[in-house]
Chain A
C-alpha cells in the first residue's frame, strides 16, 4: 500500500478550484468542489493536456486542450476524446494539511 503524502494546505485551494500537485513524480490534479477534496491524475489520457488548467463543473473536470471530461471522484471518462480513465488518489485532511495516496486498483 502506498504512503500518504502531504501535497497542499487547505488555503492553497479554495472551493471550486483545482491545483496541480506532485505525488512523488506524478502530476496530480487536486480539486475542491463543494468543500470536498478529490485528487485524480493531472495528465489527460487523450493527449496529455493539463487537467488542473481546465474547467471544473461540480464533479466534472474538462481538459483545456480538447474538452475530454473526467469524474473527479473516480477518474472515469465522462466525455471524449479521452477513452481511458485517469488514476485516482485518496485524500485525507489533517487539520489544515491535505494528504493523498494513490488508490490501488
Chain B
C-alpha cells in the first residue's frame, strides 16, 4: 500500500492549486494527485472560447507546466480513476490496482456533462464539451461543417454559438426555457442578450424542446423539435449543465446534497476529507446559506483554501462568488449571488456591446453586481456586497462619483 500525507482526487484547477498551496505550507509532506483524464491538470475555461477559435494550443491550458510537479515533489497519477473510498481506514482504491493510504484527502472531482437522452443522441456528430478531448473532437468537426445546433442556452451554449459564428458556422441555440441564460440573469439582461445574439447572426429558439436528433447513415443531419419542425445541422453540441461527480463520496457515506456538503472550512462530514469547487456544496458565511457553484475563480480560491486547511490551518471560505464570460464582443462579469433579489438598479444604458451595470438587491441589501462590458470600481463593489448594509437610497448606487470616492 502506498502512503500519501495529502491525496488529491481530481486534475482540474482546484486540485492543482490545492497541491501548490499544500507545498507552500508543508515542504516535506508527500502529495499525490490522481486524475482520470489523460492530461496533467488543465483549465477548462478557455475550451469553449479561445481554444475552439484555434488561438491557443492545449499546452497553454495547463495550470502548471509539466516540470512544476517534479520540482515541487508532487506526484501525478494520470489516466486512472479513484474507484473506492474507505474513510474509516483512510484508503482510496485506484483503477491501476493500487491503494493509497492518506492522512488528508481532497475531493476535487468536478462534474460531468449532463446527458440528453433523446433518440439519436448517440449519432456521430453529437458532442458535449467538458474536456480537451471533447474540444478536439469538436474542432475537427468544425473544419468540415457549415451549420451547428446547440442544445442549451446557458454559458457553454452561448459561448459556443459565439465561437462557431466567428468561424463562419451558422448557429442555432435551442433552449427549453423562455430566455437564453435565463437561469442566471434578470429578464432585462436576457432580453438584451437575445437581441445582441440575434444581431450577431445567431438564431435563437426559446421555449423550444428538442425531441430527436435525426441523421443520415449514422451521422447527424438535424434536430427535430416538438413542433415537428426539423432544424438542419452538420453537428450538434449539447450543453445542458453538469452533474457533480459525487459517487465516490456518496458510496463512502459522506453527506451529499446536490454536491458533497462541506462546512465553511471546506471540510466534509469526515474531518480528514475536504471537497472543493464544482463538486462541493459549501456554506457561505456572507450569504448565510449553502451554495454550489461552477466558476473558475471559485475553483482556484477553494482549491487554495482547502489545501491550506489540509495542512492544519482553519480558514473560512469567505470569498464572494465571481464569474466572467465572453461572447462576441461582450464581456460579462458578476460578483455575489444573483439568485436572490427583489430590486434591481441599472447604471448606464445599453449600447452596442453593453456598457451597463446592474445591482441586485434583496431587502435593500446588495447581493450581486453584474457588469456587461463596463468597468466599475471592483473593490467598492466587493465591499458593498460584503458589508450586508441596507442601502436606503438606492439611487446612490448609480452615481458615478460614489464609485470612485469609496475606494478602500
Is B45's beta carbon under 8 Å from chain A? yes
Q: A64-B46, A64-B55, A65-B45 are in contact. Are A53 and B331 (CB under 8 A)?
A: no
Beta-carbon contact of B60 and A50 below 8 Å: yes
Contacts of B331 in A (CB 8 A): 67, 79-80
CB distance from B186 to the nearest CB of A (A): 20
B333 at the interface (CB under 8 A from A): yes
Residues of A42-89 contacting chain B, CB below 8 A: 47, 50, 53-55, 64-67, 77, 79-81, 83
For residue A23, give the distance in angstroms from its CB to the closest CB of chain B: 21
Q: Is B45 within 8 A of A83, CB to CB? A: no
* B326 contacts the other chain (CB 8 A): yes
Kindly list chain A residues whose C-beta atoms are within 8 Å of the C-beta of B378: 83
Chain B residues positioned under 8 Å from A83 (CB to CB): 378
- In the complex the two chains form, what is the Cα distance from A61 to B93 in whole Å? 46
Q: Are A81 and B60 in contact (CB under 8 A)?
A: no
Interface of B is mostly: mixed
How distant is A66 from chain B, measured CB to nearest CB, in Å? 6
Instruction: Tell me how far the C-beta of B42 lies from the nearest C-beta in chain A, rounded to whole angstroms.
Output: 11
Q: How far is the CB of A61 from chain B (nearest CB, A)?
A: 12
**A53:B300 contact, CB within 8 angstroms:** no
Q: Which of A47, A64, A81 contacts B50, CB < 8 Å?
A: A64
* Contact status B46-A81, CB under 8 Å: no
Say yes or no: B326 contacts A67, CB within 8 Å. Answer: yes
Q: How far is the CB of B28 from chain A (nearest CB, A)?
A: 26
Taking a contact as CB atoms under 8 Å apart, the answer to whether A53 and B60 are in contact is yes
- Can you name the residue of chain B whose Cβ is closest to the Cβ of A69? B331
Asked if B179 is an interface residue, CB under 8 A from chain A, the answer is no
Interface pair B56/A67, CB less than 8 Å apart = no
Q: How far is the CA of A47 from the CA of B63 in the complex (A)?
A: 10
Nearest B residue (CB) for A47: B300
Instruction: Say whether B278 faces chain A, with CB atoms less than 8 Å apart.
Output: no
Minimum CB distance partner of B300 in chain A = A47
Set of chain A residues within 8 Å of B55, measured between Cβ atoms: 54-55, 64
Name the distance in Å between A71's Cβ and chain B's nearest Cβ. Answer: 13
**Complex Cα–Cα for A67 and B60 (A):** 13
Q: Do B324 and A65 touch (CB < 8 A)?
A: no
B244 to chain A, nearest CB (A): 23
Q: A64-B60, A65-B43, A66-B324 are in contact. Are A81 and B49 (CB under 8 A)?
A: no
- What residue in chain B is nearest A50 (Cβ atoms)? B60
Contacts of A53 in B (CB 8 A): 56, 60
Please encode chain B, from 313 to 334, with 1 for each CB lying within 8 Å of some chain A CB and 0 for all others.
0000000001010100001010
- With A80-B333, A83-B378 in contact, do A65 and B300 touch (Cβ < 8 Å)? no
Cβ-defined partner of A65 (8 Å) among B60, B322, B333 = B60
Q: Which of B363-378 touch A at CB < 8 Å?
A: 371, 373, 375, 378
Chain B residues within 8 Å of A77, by CB: 375
Q: List 11 A-B contacts (CB under 8 A).
A: A55-B55, A64-B55, A66-B45, A66-B46, A67-B50, A67-B324, A79-B331, A80-B375, A81-B324, A81-B333, A83-B378
| Inter-chain pairs besides A53-B60, A64-B46, 10 sampled, C-beta below 8 Å | A53-B56, A55-B55, A64-B50, A64-B55, A65-B45, A67-B49, A67-B326, A80-B331, A81-B297, A81-B333
List residues of chain B with CB under 8 Å of any chain A CB.
43, 45-46, 49-50, 55-56, 60, 296-297, 300, 322, 324, 326, 331, 333, 371, 373, 375, 378
Residues of A whose CB lies within 8 Å of any CB of B are 47, 50, 53-55, 64-67, 77, 79-81, 83
